[in-house]
Amino acid sequence: LQAHGGFLMLHLRDVLADPLVWEQLRRFLRSGRLQIEEPGVSFSPIAAVSLVPEAVDVEVKLVLVGSRDQYYELQEAAPEFARHFRAKVDFADSFVASADSRRASAIFVAHACREFGLPHFSAAAVARLLEESHREVGDQARESAIFARTEAMVMESAAICRARGPGLVTVDDVETALAAHASRHDYPEQRLREEIAEGDLMIALTGERLGQLNGLSQIDLGDYRFGLPVRLSAHAYAGEDGLLNIEREVELSGPIHDKGVFILQNYLSALFAHLAPLSLNASIVFEQQYHGVEGDSASCAELYALLSALSGLPLRQGIAVTGALNQHGEVLPVGGINEKIEG
């Protein structure tokens, strides 16, 4: 009723979490009238005597905020939803960077400082925040549209500046804030690096080895991402069973990784089996990986390991490889490139 004559914005997750609210919304969409009643009266098996006010005409424009999956599910499940919510707007998580967008981002930082009473940022500090925005999306040509992260970093950098003394927030303050954020979330990364340093995770960095190669993985914890080298090994011998993906056999391989291995197998067949079937038994595996493997960016490294096993030519261990392969042997654009290089 308070939104009468205006807009009412609702989060779909909140609406769908309460069947009573969802049913009330559906009734309102059908009739355009709001019935005020005790919670649960419509669904109560026992008739209760209570005063029921007359339904009220309400003129309001509804805006529902939710995921794309929720939108399409409701399109199918609720016909009135499709009739009443015809305009769909996607919120992008990134946008093309330009001089105007960078100026707008700098204005956003200044506005946040004014709103929260924070010390303002130097030009170099704003530039460092913009650099971090590019890093978030992994693209030099795009900026992140998740401004809540930028706002949080503005507040943390300003707090460090205040602790230091009066003045503008400097690039060193931003760097300190970024390092502090990483230190609060990077325990899994630290532990894995310790295991590599102690020899528990076997990673060779020098010399040459047959059928072995270091791949590059990206681990996404939601609020923190990092890269890590992983050993990948391959064996090849005479036979007719083809390529064996050991992760898939033990159900540790995701569908995208399986797809990458199938593409790799087809590429090998196209490369070597023009005149006769490919008589080959081969296996590939990620060494010391016990929690599942997903993604196709290891298919290039898997190809090199297989070619090494087939040819008898060893591979240099000081180079790590990432990248997905298509059926024509072309390497596709790489995701998570910052984390993988650092890893």
Q: Is residue 2 part of a domain?
A: no
Q: Is residue 1 part of a domain?
A: no
Q: Which of 31-40, 54-63, 77-86 has the lowest mean pLDDT?
A: 31-40
Report the DSSP pairing between strands 281-286 and 225-237: antiparallel
Q: Which of 154, 185, 216 delimits the end of a domain? A: 185
Nearest to 325 by CA among 244, 265, 236: 265
Q: List the alpha helices (DSSP H) in 187-317.
A: 187-197, 246-249, 255-272, 299-311
Residues of the domain holding 99: 94-185
d(CA 333, CA 324): 8
Q: What total number of domains does the chain contain? A: 3
Residues 111, 50 share a domain: no
Residues 237, 286 share a domain: yes
Where does the pLDDT of residue 47 fall: very low under 50, low under 70, confident under 90, or very high at 90 and above? low
d(CA 302, CA 304): 5
DSSP states of 89-157 as a string? Answer: ----SEEE--HHHHHHHHHHHHHHHHHHTPPPBPHHHHHHHHHHHHHHHT-TTEEE--HHHHHHHHHHH
CA-CA distances (angstroms) from residue 158 to 123, 132, 169, 174?
14, 16, 6, 8
Q: What are the tens digits of pLDDT across the range 238-259?
A: 888 888 888 888 888 889 988 9
Residues 197, 334 share a domain: yes
Q: Is residue 150 part of a domain?
A: yes
Residues 290, 229 share a domain: yes
Q: Which of 128, 159, 185 delimits the end of a domain? A: 185
Residues 307, 234 share a domain: yes
Q: What are the tens digits of pLDDT across the range 277-315?
A: 878 888 888 888 878 788 888 899 999 999 999 999 999
Residues 297, 171 share a domain: no
Report the DSSP pairing between strands 7-11 and 61-65: parallel
The stretch 170-185 carries a mean pLDDT of 94
Residues 225, 166 share a domain: no
Residues 181, 141 share a domain: yes
Q: Which of 159, 185, 211 delimits the end of a domain? A: 185
Where does the pLDDT of residue 96 fall: very low under 50, low under 70, confident under 90, or very high at 90 and above? very high
Q: Which of 81-85, 121-125, 173-177, 258-262 has the lowest mean pLDDT?
A: 81-85
Helix/strand/coil for 200: coil
Residues 99, 25 share a domain: no
Q: Is residue 89 part of a domain?
A: no
pLDDT for 153 beyond 90: yes
Residue 237 near residue 220, CB atoms below 8 Å: no
| Long-range own/partner contacts, residues 63-69 (CB < 8 A, 24 or more apart) | 63/7, 63/8, 63/9, 63/10, 64/9, 64/10, 64/11, 64/12, 64/15, 65/9, 65/10, 65/11, 65/12, 66/11, 66/12, 66/13, 67/12
Return the CATH number at 145.
1.10.8.60
Residues 22, 79 share a domain: yes
Q: Is residue 23 part of a domain?
A: yes
Residues 100, 73 share a domain: no
Nearest to 128 by CA among 98, 171, 87, 99: 171
How many residues does this entry show for the chain?
Answer: 343
Residues 135, 15 share a domain: no
Q: Which of 42-46, 67-71, 327-331 has the lowest mean pLDDT?
A: 42-46
